[in-house]
Amino acid sequence: VSLITRSGTNMFRGSGYYVMRDTKTSSNEYFLKLSQLSADEASKTPKLDKKIYGGSFGGPVMKDKVFFYASYYRPVFNRDNRANLYGDLPDYQSRRNEGFVKVTLRPVNPLLLNVSIRDSHRLEESDLFGSATKSTTGSGFEARLRIGTAEGSWIIDPQSYLTFKYTNFANRTLGRPDNVGKTALS
């Protein structure tokens, strides 16, 4: 897999964004408009709210020699008003924080070096419930992804070049219960 990421340039540039989607401004997940449902049906329909924040910024550290680029991404999802045979269930929540930083060096014209790191942490709570399980038996998961790279290229002459790439990849993901009982085995 080959992935090309953004780099800084000789100009400072940045952007930011915020995206909001909630049950008051759009259709629900089942493509039904809440206004078309009876009051009882609307109160039982799970409501999913989404908020996504993000931005990026990059530019020169030393003109024509050293550049940087950084970005941030944070989606937050909330779903409430869920129930099963036992009654109401805890609200679902998913949060993710992801950052990316890259430094590009060009010490001499035919040589280019890049170093980058991506760090992502995602936490989901009250994700999985069966139709006949109690509200204390829910489970979620936690994921931590880190990718570090160092790469370079050197144009030796018009017919020859040399490249290298080193990647350190760690993906630590685990499912876990949302509620841990305080019991001791004897």
**How do residues 124-181 score in pLDDT, each as one tens digit?**
888 777 778 787 787 888 899 999 999 999 989 989 999 999 999 999 988 877 777 6
**How do residues 74-88 score in pLDDT, each as one tens digit?**
999 888 767 788 888
Instruction: Report whether 98 contacts 75 (CB < 8 A).
Output: no
pLDDT of residue 34: 47
Q: How many helices (H) and strands (E) does the chain have?
A: 1, 9
Closest Cα partner for 59 from 7, 107, 20?
7
The yes-or-no verdict on residue 41 having pLDDT over 60 is no
Is pTM beyond 0.95 here? no
